[in-house]
C-alpha cells in the first residue's frame, strides 16, 4: 500500500449573479443569502478547494524507512569519531565528492547516492577498518568535508556563493534513498568517470549486484581524466608488479610479453599478461597507480605506455556522466535509474 500527503489546490469560483427579478422577492433573497453565508465554511472547503492529483514521485510506500537523525564519522586526520547531523553529513559528502559547478540535478543525484550509501553503512554497523563509526571521511567510504574545512580549503567567497547550491540539492532530496526489490540499496557505488561505459560489479569487485550492471555513459565530455598516460621501463614495470604481488613471478618482461588478453563488457581490462604473469586489470591498475582499469598498452623497445580512460573503479554512478546527463535535461531520478538498474527512489 502507498500513502502520500495530499495538497489542497485553489480553483477559481464562478461569480454568483442575482438578477433584477430576484429583488422582487426580498424574503427569498434574504433566506438565500443567509443559507449562502451560513454554509460558507463548508462551501469554501468543498468547492473552492479540491484534492490535487498525487504525483507518483510524492507517493511513499510502506516499506520506505525513516532516516537516522545523526551518523558517526571517523575523522582520519585526528583519529577521532564525530557525531554529525545526518543531512549535514550528506551536504559535506556532496561538497567533498563533486565540483560545485555541477548542474543541480547532478548534485541531487549525488545527494541521493551518498545518502543511500550512508544509510546502508549505518544499518550494517561500524566498519572493521574504523570500529567506532560506520563511515570515514576519505574515498575508503565517501569524501566528507564539514563547513569549517570547506571554508579553510575554498575560502569565504566559496561558502557564500556555492554552499547554498549544495544545500539546495540536498534539501530538495531530503530523506530520499534508493530501493531495490523494496529494500534499501546496499551498494550505492559511484566513481568520477567511466570512460564511456560503466562496469559490471562482478568484473571489478567480488560478486554480481543486480542493479550494478554495465550501462553506457555517453555524456562525459567534461570529465577531468578522459585520457591519462603513464610510462614505465620494463624493469620498473616488473618491480612494481613484484612489490604489489610478491607471490607472482613475472620472469623476463619485454615488449613481446606485455599485452592485454581480454576485456570486460564495460571496456576495462579483464586479463593482462606481463612477462610470465597473468593479472586482472584491477590488479594492474592498483600496482601501477593508474586512474582506471580501462586502459590500453603500447609496448616500445625500452618502455611501455599505458593510456587510461576515466577515473575510478567504474561501477555505479559516473559523477561526470551524471553532470553530462543533467546538462542534457535529465532529472536526478532519471540519472539514478540509468546508472542503478531497476531501483526506485523514495
Among left, alpha and beta (phi > 0; psi -120 to 50; other), residue 275 is: left
Question: What number of CA atoms fall less than 13 Å from residue 46's CA on the CB side?
Answer: 5
Asked if 311 and 290 touch (Cβ cutoff 8 Å), the reply is: no
Tell whether 65 is covered by a domain: no
In the chain, the number of structural domains is 3
Domain match, 14 and 87 both: no
Q: Tell me, yes or no, whether 237 and 276 share the same domain.
A: yes
For residues 321 and 337, give the distance between their C-alpha atoms in angstroms, rounded to a whole number. 13
Please tell me whether residues 184 and 151 are part of one structural domain.
yes
Indicate the residue among 60, 80, 110 that finishes a domain.
60
Same domain, 129 and 215: yes
Does 318 lie in the same domain as 301? no
Tally Cβ neighbours within 10 Å of residue 32: 14
- Kindly state whether residues 175 and 272 are assigned to the same domain: no
Does 89 share its domain with 201? yes
Same domain, 77 and 194: yes
CA 273 to chain centre: 35
pLDDT tens across the length of the chain (346 residues): 443 332 323 223 333 343 444 434 444 444 444 444 444 444 433 433 334 444 556 688 999 999 999 999 999 999 999 999 999 999 999 999 999 999 999 999 999 999 999 999 999 988 888 999 999 999 999 999 999 999 999 999 999 889 999 999 999 999 999 999 999 999 999 999 999 999 999 999 989 999 999 999 999 999 999 899 999 999 999 999 999 999 999 999 999 999 999 999 999 999 999 999 999 999 999 999 999 999 999 999 999 999 999 999 999 999 999 999 999 999 999 999 999 999 999 9
Q: What is the SS3 assignment for 41?
A: helix
**Alpha-carbon span 136 to 96, nearest angstrom:** 12
Residues 56 and 155 in one domain: no
Q: Is residue 242 part of a domain?
A: yes
Enclosing domain of residue 136: 70-222+314-345
The cell numbers describing 101, all together, are: 559547478
- Residue 84 and residue 198 in one domain: yes
**Cell digits of residue 263:** 576485456
Amino acid at each position: 500500500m502507498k500513502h502520500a500527503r495530499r495538497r489542497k489546490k485553489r480553483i477559481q469560483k464562478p461569480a454568483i449573479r442575482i438578477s433584477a427579478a430576484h429583488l422582487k422577492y426580498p424574503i427569498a433573497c434574504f433566506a438565500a443569502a443567509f443559507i449562502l453565508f451560513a454554509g460558507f465554511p463548508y462551501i469554501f472547503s468543498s468547492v473552492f478547494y479540491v484534492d490535487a492529483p498525487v504525483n507518483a514521485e510524492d507517493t511513499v510506500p510502506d516499506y520506505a524507512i525513516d532516516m537516522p537523525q545523526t551518523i558517526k564519522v571517523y575523522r582520519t586526520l585526528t583519529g577521532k569519531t564525530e557525531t554529525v547531523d545526518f543531512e549535514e553529513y550528506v551536504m559535506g559528502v556532496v561538497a567533498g565528492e563533486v565540483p560545485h559547478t555541477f548542474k543541480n540535478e547532478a548534485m541531487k543525484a549525488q545527494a541521493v547516492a551518498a545518502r543511500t550509501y550512508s544509510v546502508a553503512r549505518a544499518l550494517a554497523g561500524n566498519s572493521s577498518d574504523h570500529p567506532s563509526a560506520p563511515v570515514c571521511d576519505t574515498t575508503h567510504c565517501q569524501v566528507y568535508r564539514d563547513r569549517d574545512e570547506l571554508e579553510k580549503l575554498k575560502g569565504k567567497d566559496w561558502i557564500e556563493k556555492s554552499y547554498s547550491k549544495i544545500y539546495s540539492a540536498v534539501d530538495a532530496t531530503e530523506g530520499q534513498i534508493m530501493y531495490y526489490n523494496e529494500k534499501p540499496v546496499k551498494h550505492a557505488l559511484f566513481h568520477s568517470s567511466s570512460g564511456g561505459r560503466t562496469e559490471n560489479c562482478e568484473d571489478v569487485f567480488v560478486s554480481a549486484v543486480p542493479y550494478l550492471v554495465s550501462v553506457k555513459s555517453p555524456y562525459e565530455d567534461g570529465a577531468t581524466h578522459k585520457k591519462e598516460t603513464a610510462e614505465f621501463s620494463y624493469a620498473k614495470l616488473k618491480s612494481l608488479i613484484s612489490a604489489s604481488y610478491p607471490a607472482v613471478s613475472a620472469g623476463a618482461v619485454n615488449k613481446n610479453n606485455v599485452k592485454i588478453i581480454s576485456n570486460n563488457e564495460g571496456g576495462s581490462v579483464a586479463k593482462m599478461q606481463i612477462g610470465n604473469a597473468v593479472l586482472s586489470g584491477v590488479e594492474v591498475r592498483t600496482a601501477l597507480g593508474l586512474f582506471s582499469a580501462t586502459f590500453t598498452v603500447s609496448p616500445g623497445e625500452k618502455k611501455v605506455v599505458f593510456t587510461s580512460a576515466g577515473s575510478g573503479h567504474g561501477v555505479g554512478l559516473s559523477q561526470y556522466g551524471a553532470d553530462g546527463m543533467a546538462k542534457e535535461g535529465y532529472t536526478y531520478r532519471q540519472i539514478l535509474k540509468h546508472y542503478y538498474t531497476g531501483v526506485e527512489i523514495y
